[in-house]
Structure 1
Amino acid sequence: MSSRRSFIRQSALAAGALAVHPALNAMLAKGSGLEISLAQWSLHKQLFAGQLDHLDFAAKAKKDFGISAVEYVTTFFGSKKVNFKEAGKDKNYLNEMLKRSKDNGVVNHLIMVDGEGNLAQLDEKERLQAIDNHKKWVEAAKFLGCKTIRVNLAGEGSKEDKRNAGADSLGRLGDFAKTMNINVIVENHGGDSSNAAWLASVMKQANRKNVGTLPDFGNFCISGAWGGTEGGCKEKYDTYLGVTELMPFAKGVSAKTYDFKEDGEESTMDYKRLIDIVKAAGFKGYVGIEYEGAKFSEEEGIRKTKQLLEKYI
């Protein structure tokens, strides 16, 4: 009996320690092989409004949220005067990014590339141009110390034709990125890319070690409006099946959140189930917070997502 009481008391003390010491949570998370990063899109409202400068993102991640790894979005590079595509080639600008991240002890993990053309485009001239457009971001990732760029597979045509075009684009871009030890990964990001079976088939066809996926917990709407509610989505792929099918190719995970219950759980999906799928796949690496809700402020949404990840990681 005394042994049982001792066990209960020790368990209660351990639970209390986790609640009081978030640093301990972070240490345990690291021991699991899963680490938390912050996706810049979580602060997109502030960035678009000019309330937060791109160059200050790394410092904010560390100082405000205690997160030491970041995921950039190309759209926010530069300023109103400097186009993000030009900023991605500006060594002075990239050097300032690198300096600020190092000064704050922040790891540059990933660049999410948008607006550089469709990699599953059937028009070969346009597709080859899109591949070339992405190369500067591979070079920027190398300069900043990132390991990975995220690209999109968009295009018009049949699933088979887009699979062939997308696989060819990823193969070409992957071969270029391999010379700099950079990964090229695809997110389920609308259209056919949100059909996990289709995206997995593209990965198998591309067949490159440095080409993979970025499973996003929330982006499984194939047609219609995205988001945590189902009202606007006309065709949705099963979230849990989708994450399961994409995890064998994963080189990162996007922990999307929209809303939370009073107990801190995500109200639109089963987070424990999702993290269990990630763990079961044997994934080791960064799980990126990407809060995209409207009910809570961006800061509060990020903190709630971090708490939820620490709970299950």
Structure 2
Amino acid sequence: MNQPSVLRRRTFLSGVAAAVSLSGTRSLCGQQADSGKFRISLAEWTINRELKSGEIDHLDFAKVASDHGIFAVEYVNQFFMDKARDQAYLAEMKKRADDLGVKSLILMCDHEGRIGDPNREQRNKTVENHRKWIDAAKYLGCHSIRVNAASEGPWDEQVRLAADGLSQLTEFGAQQQINVIVENHGGLSSNADWLAQVIERVAHERCGTLPDFGNFRIREGESYDSYRGVEKLMPWAKGVSVKDQVWDDQGNRMPLDFERMLKIVLAAGYHGYCGIEFGGYANLNASRLALEQARERL
């Protein structure tokens, strides 16, 4: 991204931050009203720097969200990687969210292997590794876990392998009434045509997508148009991740056109949560307000 784009983004967020102070604390005083369009949630990765540095403790994530007028959250397992089976820790997470009126939506899972690994033993191990997170998601009150559809090999073979791993995991999730959803998250998974084929092959109501506006970069110099990609993946969406930077189909990154993208989301009949995953901790109020204002203009 070139320097003018960075400056435009900073100027935009600064302007929105000023609008927050001028408009008062309408959203900070309580639960979001149901707009009939979509609600706003907070993805934990938004504050990953503060979590990694220890400035913010994972157990305080729900409080960070509520302090900024957001009452639904999406966890990332990286920040409590060794706690999936720690009942006392999960109970504390749940209590803190419940006490604040914060709803737990999604548990995003990383670093548990490739769901489409060409080696069957490794693929099965990846499925097994994710089962504990389904259990944790169920306990916390989430509706879904998010997984990555990583694989290797030719296009069709990766479709087959990823679908096999996802099918196994989805069957287990269905027993717990937990969805298994796939984010476009690098490699072929960031090609919406490929990911759509995978979901179609799994063909299970509990297996869906988590379209991420800003994750359509396939590899260096190759990307899938974000607007077209979101439209392609929305039929299976059980969540939406909002980033303020998107891609064209030629490897170029640019600022998000909020209204254009959100019209695509709503046109698909989606009225769930749109998760903030941009702006960082310092700009949480500005990020929330930017999304609220775009929603009001729709």
Q: Post-superposition shift, 1:36? A: 0.6
Query: Quick one: distance in 2 between partners of 1:151 and 1:217?
Result: 17
Query: Quick one: distance in 2 between partners of 1:241 and 1:58?
Result: 33
Q: Post-superposition shift, 1:161? A: 0.8
Q: Post-superposition shift, 1:188? A: 0.5
Query: Quick one: distance in 1 between partners of 2:288 and 2:197?
Result: 32
Query: Quick one: distance in 2 between partners of 1:26 and 1:282?
Result: 27
Residue matched to 1:311 = 293
Residue matched to 1:200 = 196
Change (3 A) 1:25 1:120: farther
Summarize the alignment of residues 1-313 of structure 1 with structure 2, pairs less than 5 Å apart: 19=23, 22-23=26-27, 30-63=34-67, 65-77=68-80, 84=81, 86-224=82-220, 234-257=221-244, 268-291=255-278, 298-313=280-295
Residue matched to 2:10 = none
Q: Is the 8 A contact 1:74 1:112 kept in 2?
A: yes
Query: Quick one: distance in 1 between partners of 2:284 and 2:242?
Result: 11
Q: Is the 8 A contact 1:29 1:310 kept in 2?
A: no
The number of residues matched between the two structures is 268
Determine helix, strand or coil for the equivalent of 2:189: helix
Q: Post-superposition shift, 1:301? A: 2.9
Determine helix, strand or coil for the equivalent of 1:30: coil
Q: Post-superposition shift, 1:299? A: 2.7
Query: Quick one: distance in 1 between partners of 2:44 and 2:26?
Result: 22
Determine helix, strand or coil for the equivalent of 1:155: coil
Q: Which has the larger radius of gyration?
A: 1
Determine helix, strand or coil for the equivalent of 1:55: helix
Measured on the aligned residues, the alpha-carbon RMSD in Å equals 2.2
Query: Quick one: distance in 2 between partners of 1:26 and 1:96?
Result: 22
Work out the percentage of aligned pairs sharing the same amino acid: 45
* TM-score normalised to structure 1 length: 0.81
Determine helix, strand or coil for the equivalent of 2:51: helix
* TM-score normalised to structure 2 length: 0.85
Query: Quick one: distance in 1 between partners of 2:57 and 2:245?
Result: 24
Query: Quick one: distance in 2 between partners of 1:94 and 1:25?
Result: 27
Q: Is the 8 A contact 1:290 1:302 kept in 2?
A: no
Change (3 A) 1:302 1:56: same
Change (3 A) 1:46 1:198: same
Unaligned runs of 5+ in 1: 1-17, 78-83, 225-233, 260-265
Change (3 A) 1:25 1:287: farther
1:209-267 residue CA offsets vs partner (Å, 9 max, x unmatched)? 0110000000010002xxxxxxxxx10101110010000110000001259xxxxxx96
Q: Which amino acid aligns with 1:287?
A: C
Query: Quick one: distance in 2 between partners of 1:214 and 1:106?
Result: 20
Query: Does 1 or 2 have the higher relative contact order (CA < 8 Å, sep 6+)?
Result: 2
Q: Which amino acid aligns with 1:239?
A: S
Q: Post-superposition shift, 1:25? A: 12
Query: Quick one: distance in 2 between partners of 1:47 and 1:186?
Result: 24
Query: Quick one: distance in 1 between partners of 2:110 and 2:76?
Result: 8
Q: Which amino acid aligns with 2:44?
A: Q
Determine helix, strand or coil for the equivalent of 1:282: coil
